[in-house]
Structure 1
Amino acid sequence: MVKSQYELEREANIAKNRALFEGLGLKQAVKDLGSSSSSKTTAKPVQPKRVKRERSEAELPRRQSRRLLTKMGDYSKESKEERKLREKAREEEEERLEEERKQAEEKARIAKRPRHHVLNFHTLAETDSPQDIAQLSTTMESVVQVSRAVGDPEAFAFSEEAKHKSALKELRDKVENLKVLSRAKVTTNRIYCSAYHPEFTKDLLFFGDKHGQLGIWDARAPPDEQEEDSDIAPENREGGKYWRFQLHWPATPKSSISCIKVDPIDSHNIYTSSYDCTIRSLSFVSGSSKEIYASNDGVLITSIDLPAAGHEMWIGDGAGGATHLDLREAKTRTRRYELSEHKIGSVSVNPTRPNFLLTASNSRVLKIWDTRKLDGMPIDLLDLADQDVSEDDTARHVLNFDSSIVQEYCASKVGKGAFRGEWKHDKSASSAYWDPRGRQIVSTSYDDTLRLWDIRSPAFKTNDVFPSLRPFCHIRHNCQTGKWLTILRAQWSPNPDAYPHFTVANMNHALDIYSSKGELITSLSDPTMISAVQAVTCSHPSIVERAASGNASGRCVLWAPESLIDEP
């Protein structure tokens, strides 16, 4: 086979390179070169170089308008006057964009700030969908003024077991057959707390959610006409009528509503506490909400409670403090006592003996305090230079008694009786509340146990520490809610005329009702209507056959007798 000129030249080059490598002592390179030369692969043919064809004549410049040249950035041919106008327009555009940027930043800053001023209903109800505020006003105008009823410490303290069984049977007959009478998505986000209004002609409920929204639900209100004519099945329709108010701001988890209380002496007014470190009062008479307290040090407010007289308030916070607020005085007098090493999850004022305060905290301890002694703690114990005191008479002056001062005072002769007793749980004590009679306590803990105490009246009449604060009943109850569910809290029925009982959520999507003896009265559930944990519960203050619950999606349920379905 005759070799081409290309192959002859290639072999000559290889021979020349081999001789060069041998002279340099690179034998491995020579070996590789030899293997390369013995390869049977066929070389690609040499491609002829493409010669770019020259244009026969020079390309002439294209014509363009001055407007296009200016738009493309070529200003070489514009006049002096045109350049001045262009630069002026550019400066004006930059100023406009800078102003818009500043306005957007200011709006963003305002949107993140808590609102401390008075807010009317129309401001609170600003949402994507319009709400009939006039209908809410009409609903609240029909509400009768109701004050909180005070119980009797010796009520239902039967000496005969037969009377207990009879009262328990009567209660069971009323609540064991409660059904889902109405349900609706009252708030946009997870329910954190609830309150049942004492009005007895309608079921009026308040729910606070994770993003500072307050849902007001008239659970048995007749539906709108367009809802009656809709194609939605009756069992899937939204029950009653609800309104949503963005009560605490901004609408983020930093503004979660932690507690709701109906004013015990003015049922047209409610109080809400929030993680935005404020407490607000919402009046349905004035149609506005105003701030009554703000934590200056940024400590989260976890719980509030008021005695039946309604003139003062106790506030629990995330730093282990309990603050006493007199609602009749100006903002200048507030006393805070550090009663725990960790967050206080709940505070509860004894309804029949309002000077006894109950606290439950993440330090696992339930404690009872005599607030008369705490309020008598002398200011001389404080270093006023370190206190939150300003010269502004309109500002709130907080006298902060830290834990060392409280402990030293309680151990002194003058402070004897301020601390009355404690009980340590195996894990965090989520909540603890007095019953309507002011003698029993129910606590909820992460150790999956509900505990009950019964403190007899003579123990309250001395200044001594309670001789024993051992719970008489332990109830195993799953309280492992995890990250996405609201912490379970056992809540007493506030009805002082009913046999004492409490409600608590069940992780099996039910609502459990227990007696004050720790007996399970009933477990309300409906798998066809409920498919989520009813983490937050509450009961009507005067009607036994009423209960309500809410879940993590903002959907709420009214439990009532089935016979009420056909009633207006």
Structure 2
Amino acid sequence: MPKTAYELEREAKIARNRALIEQLQLKNASASVRGAATNAKAPAKSKPAPKPKAKPVQPIKREKRLVEDTPRRVSERLRRSTIELATTPAQKRKREQEDEALRRKNEEEFLAAEERAREAKKPRHEELDLETLAGQEEWEPGALSGFNSRLQSLLRAPHPRGAADVDAFVFESERKEDAEIAALRERLQGMKIVARAKVTQDRVYTAAYHPDPTTDLIFFGDKHGQLGIWDPRAPADDAGDEGDDVDPDQQETGKYWRLQVHWPATSKSSISCIKFDPIDAHSVYTSAYDSTVRSLSFTSGISREVFAMEQVLITSLDVPPASHEMWLSDAEGWLTHLDLREDKSKKRAYQLSEQKIGCVSVNPTNHAFILTSSNSRMLKVWDVRKLQKLSANRDGVLELELEDVDKLDKPKGGSATLRAEWKHDKSVTAAFWDPRGRSIVSTSYDDTLRIWDLSPSHMAKHAPFPQFKPFNRIRHNCQTGKWVSLLKAQWSQNPDVYPHFTIGDMDHSVDIFGCKGNLLAKLSDRNKISATQAVTCSHPSIVERVATGNASGRCVLWAPADDEEE
């Protein structure tokens, strides 16, 4: 059958396209040959190796939900109308009663769950044993009994808090004092880092060194109410195996235990202060922002509540030597006195400031003199003998507001309650008496440390001090900001050595000053420390022992280099 004109034209067009494709392929091939020849003449250039790129954050893989073939939804009106057609009135009443009972049950369960959630956020006021304090912390098998045994080892002997004589280390000649300072400087400058560990999970707020002279046991309080107890000299096999691929200089040292003493485990329970029982050091007191003070007994392993307030932050506490009394300061400017032998409901409270009192310190040699530092920029020395003579009500409670205190302090004759005051340029972070009850050091946000030296003759009188001004001012960066704990100059509690205090430095070092403002030592190690050592404390019995803590919960023990080999 002869082809049509259309088919002939179609075949001719296909032939032309094939010829064109063959021609184009030849041109491409020749071009590639010319390019290869040209490249062969030129020397080959080596491409630089691509720089490694950071692995991007991978999105979370979410599984697709499978849509089940569920029956079609029917409205409640239609469903009920269908059921009601097939039920009798008696059955309908029964069903309504069952629905009402189910509704009430669900409502009660919901309210109970809400109440449990509210209770879980409230402070705990009951007695707590070690197992409860350990909480959800991952303890190794037998660790709890081992920790209890460690506490029991502190009961071998009492360790009362000591106080130096008020005239101790007061020299008749400067030569003798210079020799004493030089000897102490030589001992302190030989210290280095001998142990490190992440003792608490959150920022360290406060610390205290147990006074037992045969051991090193340091207590740290953190931002979330956790009490970390560190034994930095524990054998390495007790501290856990961190693997062979870890640099020995980066491994944790010693053994530590974490107890959730204050509750809830949030910033509302930050531990503000730690003090040991001044009679024998067989228990430890902790105050916290949860408005409670608790005592952990090393004998029984039980934590009990000593005192509680109504939603007022307790900022500091102090327990003078050889006494059964406690002084508390709070965020509303009140000072509270407790007799630890009486019921915790009995108290004597005095409002001494319109703003927060951040620190209280009791004179260790004359317990009538109390030191307060507040956000009002004022450092004040109080003689509380007149306050303590006031009668409490029949419940044993006394509350004296600021106006009443001011009136009491302005009598016609008689003793003065406010003995001295000094206004700083900014808020006073802390102020403490030295072990002699003679020197005072204050820390302020105006970047200045101030030191006072008081004459015992001024305290013997009942009138305001004739003169009260610091004899030395030390420039010191105290701008810690939001993420670093406040710097507080802390006296060494050792009564047998020349008075000196420690304070963290924003340059990641620890500074040690004498009571006259002499810089005795500046401890630092750039290879091991990269954070501000904001919280410091010293061993009350051993001179060459300083412990520090930072904002991540990591703690450091400073001691002589020879002790590292022990």
TM-score by length of 1: 0.80
Aligned to 1:277: 291
- Equivalent residue runs for 1:405-484 within 5 Å: 405-413=404-412, 416-484=415-483
Q: Which moved more, 1:216-225 or 1:514-523?
A: 216-225
Is the Cα contact below 8 Å between 2:448 and 2:476 reproduced in 1? Answer: yes
Distance, in Å, in 2 between the alignment partners of 1:184 and 1:92 is: 57
Q: What is the correspondence of 1:11-26 to structure 2 with a 5 Å cutoff?
A: none
Equivalent in the alignment of 1:102: 111
The residue correspondences of 1:122-141 to structure 2 (distance < 5 A) are 122-130=131-139, 132-141=143-152
Contact 1:320/1:343 (8 A) holds in 2: yes
Q: Does 1:197 align with 2:210?
A: yes
Is the contact made by 1:299 and 1:319 (CA closer than 8 Å) also made in structure 2? Answer: yes
For the residue of structure 2 that corresponds to 1:479, the secondary structure is coil
CA distance in 2, matches of 1:343, 1:226: 41
What letter is aligned with 2:471?
F
Aligned to 1:304: 317
Amino acid at match of 2:302: S
> What is the alpha-carbon distance in structure 1 between the residues aligned to residue 219 and residue 547 of structure 2?
10
Conserved 8 A contact 2:502-2:510? yes
The CA deviation at 1:196 is 0.5
Given the alignment, which residue of 255, 261, 266 partners 1:241? 255
- Matched residue, 1:7: none
- 1:537-557 deviations in whole A, cap 9, x for unaligned? 000001000001111111111
- Quote the offset at 1:355 in angstroms: 1.3
* Alignment-mate amino acid for residue 309 of structure 2: S
Pair 105,562 (structure 1): closer, same or farther in 2 beyond 3 Å: same
The one-character-per-residue Cα deviations of 1:477-512 (angstroms, maximum 9, x if unpaired) are 000111111111000000010111000010001110
Whether the aligned pair in 2 keeps the contact of 1:263 and 1:310 (CA below 8 Å) is: no
Cα deviations across residues 65-115 of structure 1 (Å, max 9, x unaligned)? xx976987896699769x999999988876775555334322211111111
Q: Distance in 1 between matches of 2:375 and 2:239?
A: 49
Structure 1 residues 287 and 473, CA gap change in structure 2 (3 angstroms): same
CA contact (8 A) 2:160 2:322 kept: no
Q: 1:521, CA displacement in angstroms?
A: 1.0
SS in 2 for 1:169: helix
State how far apart, in whole Å, the 1-side matches of 2:164 and 2:383 are: 20
The 1-side partners of 2:71 and 2:513 are apart by: 85
DSSP 3-state at the match of 1:164: helix
In 1: Cα distance, 2:239 partner to 2:261 partner: 29
Q: Distance in 1 between matches of 2:138 and 2:209?
A: 26
Cα deviation, residue 353, structure 1:
1.1
- SS of residue in 1 equivalent to 2:230: strand
Deviation at 1:414, TM superposition (A): 6.3
Identify if the C-alpha distance between structure 1 residues 91 and 321 changes in structure 2 by more than 3 Å, giving closer, same or farther: closer
Alpha carbons 1:324, 1:335 under 8 Å: kept: yes
1:182 equivalent in alignment to 2:195: yes
Whether the aligned pair in 1 keeps the contact of 2:238 and 2:255 (CA below 8 Å) is no
The secondary structure found in structure 2 opposite 1:119 is coil
Task: Measure the CA separation in 2 of the matches of 1:88 and 1:524.
Answer: 77
Give secondary structure in 2 for the equivalent of 1:325: strand
TM-score by length of 2: 0.81
Over the matched positions of the two proteins, sequence identity in percent amounts to: 53
Aligned to 2:457, what secondary structure does the other structure show?
helix
Matched with 1:155 is: 168
Shift of the alpha carbon at 1:375?
0.6
The alignment partner of 2:349 has SS state of strand
Alignment correspondent of 2:385: 372
Q: Distance in 2 between matches of 1:156 and 1:357?
A: 22
RMSD: 2.5
Give the CA deviation at 1:335: 1.1
The reply to whether residue 399 of structure 1 matches residue 398 of structure 2 is yes
Specify which of 357, 364, 383 is matched with residue 344 of structure 1: 357
After superposition, the Cα gap between the structure-2 partners of 1:325 and 1:413, relative to the gap in structure 1 and judged at 3 Å, is: farther
Once residues 229 and 212 of structure 1 are traced to their aligned partners in structure 2, the CA distance between those partners, rounded to angstroms, is 27
Question: Contact between 1:409 and 1:415, CA under 8 Å: does it hold in 2?
Answer: no
User: Would the alpha carbon gap of residues 92 and 224 (structure 1) be closer, same or farther in structure 2, given more than 3 Å must change?
Assistant: farther
Corresponding residue for residue 251 of structure 1: 265
State the secondary structure of the residue aligned to 1:106: helix
Structure 2: where are the runs of 5+ without partners? Answer: 1-68
SS at match of 1:224: helix
Match of 1:283, as an amino acid? S
Find the aligned partners of 1:405 and 1:485 in 2 and give their Cα distance: 38
1:348-383 deviation per Cα after TM superposition (whole angstroms, max 9, x unaligned)? 01111111111111111111111212212356xxxx
Q: Structure 2: how far apart are the matches of 1:439 and 1:166?
A: 21
Deviation at 1:246, TM superposition (A): 0.9
How many angstroms apart in 2 are the aligned matches of 1:109 and 1:376? 42
Match of 1:114 in 2: 123
2:345 & 2:532 partners in 1: Cα distance? 43
The answer to whether the 8 A contact 2:242-2:251 is kept is no
> 1:473 corresponds to which letter in structure 2?
N
- Give the counterpart letter for 2:494 in structure 1: N
1 CA distance for matches of 2:98 and 2:243? 56
Which amino acid in structure 2 is aligned with residue 525 of structure 1?
S
Q: 1:354 to 1:98 in 2, by over 3 A?
A: same
Tell me if the contact between 1:488 and 1:505 (Cα under 8 Å) persists in the aligned partners. yes
Give the Cα separation in 1 of the matches to 2:349 and 2:314.
Answer: 12
Distance of aligned partners of 1:306 and 1:330 in 2 relative to their CA distance in 1, 3 Å threshold: same
Question: Structure 1 CA distance, aligned partners of 2:403 and 2:102?
Answer: 62
Which moves more between the two structures, 221-230 or 161-170?
A: 221-230
Displacement of 1:332: 4.7
* 1:388-446 deviation per Cα after TM superposition (whole angstroms, max 9, x unaligned): x8xxx6xxx54211111111111114652322111111111111100011100000011
SS of 2:236's partner is coil
Deviates more, 1:328-337 or 1:351-360: 328-337
Alignment match, 2:229: 216
Cα–Cα, structure 1 residues 229 and 276, in superposed 2: closer, same or farther, change >3 Å? closer
What secondary structure is seen at the aligned counterpart in 2 of 1:549?
strand
Alignment deviations for residues 451-498 of structure 1 (CA, whole Å, 9 cap, x no partner)? 000011211111121111111000000001111111110000000101
C-alpha distance in 1 between matches for 2:420 and 2:361: 15
Tell me, yes or no, if structure 1 residue 146 matches structure 2 residue 159.
Answer: yes
Q: Is the 8 A contact 1:441 1:452 kept in 2?
A: yes
Which residue number in structure 2 is paired with residue 528 of structure 1?
Answer: 527
Contact 1:373/1:415 (<8 A) preserved? no
1:28 maps to what in 2? Answer: none
Gaps of 5+ in 1: 1-66
Instruction: For 1:377 and 1:106, locate their aligned partners in 2 and report how far apart those are by CA, in whole Å.
Output: 42
Amino acid paired to 1:140: L
